[in-house]
Amino acid sequence: MISVIRVRAGTPNPTARKTLELLRLTKVNHCILLEETPAIMGMVQACKDYITWGVPSEEVVKKMIAKRGEEKKAGGEKGKVKGKKEGVVKKKAGPKYPVFRLSPPRKGWTSIKRQYPEGALGKRKDMDKLLLRMI
């Protein structure tokens, strides 16, 4: 499972714009949990200049679900997540969660115009640190 966060605003090229819409990342600091499949990774690569992604630990995902998680209920209503057991993380990832609306990271982004080692864009190895700063 990977978490994808939109870092940059603005109007991307049409391909990246459509891909961000399909990933439901319409605003900055929105996060989504996705399964790591070749199709999803192709979509992530198509809009890599606007997002950051990485593999979060299960503990951080549980914290994020407990604090920011909303799930769709019957009738289109949204409500807080009730189940916080071991299997809930893998079951809840994907289209059942609309989007995690996170706060901007404490101490800010490094640079939203450069790739990960110098900036905030691209694939990260330490996704947990960023998510904990944003929850």
Bigger pLDDT: 25 vs 66: 25
What pLDDT band is residue 27 in, cutting at 50, 70 and 90?
Answer: very high
Distance CA 129, CA 85 (A): 23
Residues 6+ apart with CB under 8 A from 84: 62, 65, 66
Q: What is the pLDDT of residues 66-104, one digit of tens each?
A: 887 766 665 666 666 655 544 555 555 555 567 889 999
Domain covering 2-58+94-124 assigned CATH 3.30.1390.20 in the classification: yes
> Helix 14-22 to helix 38-46 angle, to the nearest 10 degrees?
130
Structure confidence at residue 120 (pLDDT): 83
pLDDT score, position 119: 79
pLDDT for residue 45 is more than 90: yes
CB-CB neighbours of 113 under 10 Å: 12
Model pTM greater than 0.85?
no
Res. 44: pLDDT tops 90? yes
